[in-house]
Chain A
Amino acid sequence: MTALRVLAKDLRLHARDARFIATLSLFSLSLVLILSVAFGPFFRDPAREASATLWAALFFAGVLGLTRALDLESESGGGEALRLTGADPFAIYAGKTIANFLLMAVLFVLLLPCTSIFFDVGNLAVLPTVAGVAALALIGYAAWGTLFAALARGLKARELLLSILLFPTLIPLWIGAVKLTRSLWADGTIEPVRDWVKIMVVIDVLGLALAAWLYEVIQEAEE
């Protein structure tokens, strides 16, 4: 229940900050455009270049989303108020993680058709599987991102600090997402790279398990 309330609060904050969402969307679209121009106009392996572009744009834009959520909370004093309620820390973490996941999912829904059009890849038949891959990647991103964002809260240059911790940690997740998406767009199946599903699941579960163990400690450190 607490998780749902935190989720609703974070989503309300994002909804009120529509200008930021618009800016974030434009930023991620610009990244896709820049990379498609860099790889084009004649693509050697469009499926590979498109999947790399899609996930690079999502991961870069995601850092801005994570830090913005923290800023909004700091400005309103919501984080402090949440701690004072004595709510279960993992429920707070879960609510925030789901909110971050949904924010990333919105970006994914926006970027997927644009990337498909720019690189001329993909088809509707593989769309559900691509969505499944995206779910795996974005759950991991949100799980680890929310954990690291909580660690970086209150630090100067937290976008930079978040990036230097989050990107290296999530490289296996990023490689998995790129390889699986590429395989789907090029061959219509994930069979040749199926092992990456297991690796992504392990990273997702690890992120959630570590947060379940450590999020309370991080909250205490802020007091």
Chain B
Amino acid sequence: MSLDQETVKRIATLARLKLSDDRMGPMQQDLNRILHFIDQLNEVDTSSVEGMAGVNTPSMPFRKDVVNDGGYVDKILENAPEVACNMFVVPKVVE
């Protein structure tokens, strides 16, 4: 499976990355090398195998549904690039 430039552009948009024209070619080549490497997996018969998402965690532990953290807006905002009225500031998203 090989990716064309159109597909690379589409993935980049999904990932919120911008690829300039001069980076497009080399990136496309690298991605195709990696995908070609990954394609080896098709040799493996997995028809009767169940996928595993993680290890050593047979069941997720439950805890009481109570608030046990929070109440420190200042701490949450202290690393923000731009803040106003205890909120993060971003460009306008509603017309």
Chains A and B bind each other: no
> B residues within 8 Å of A by Cβ?
none
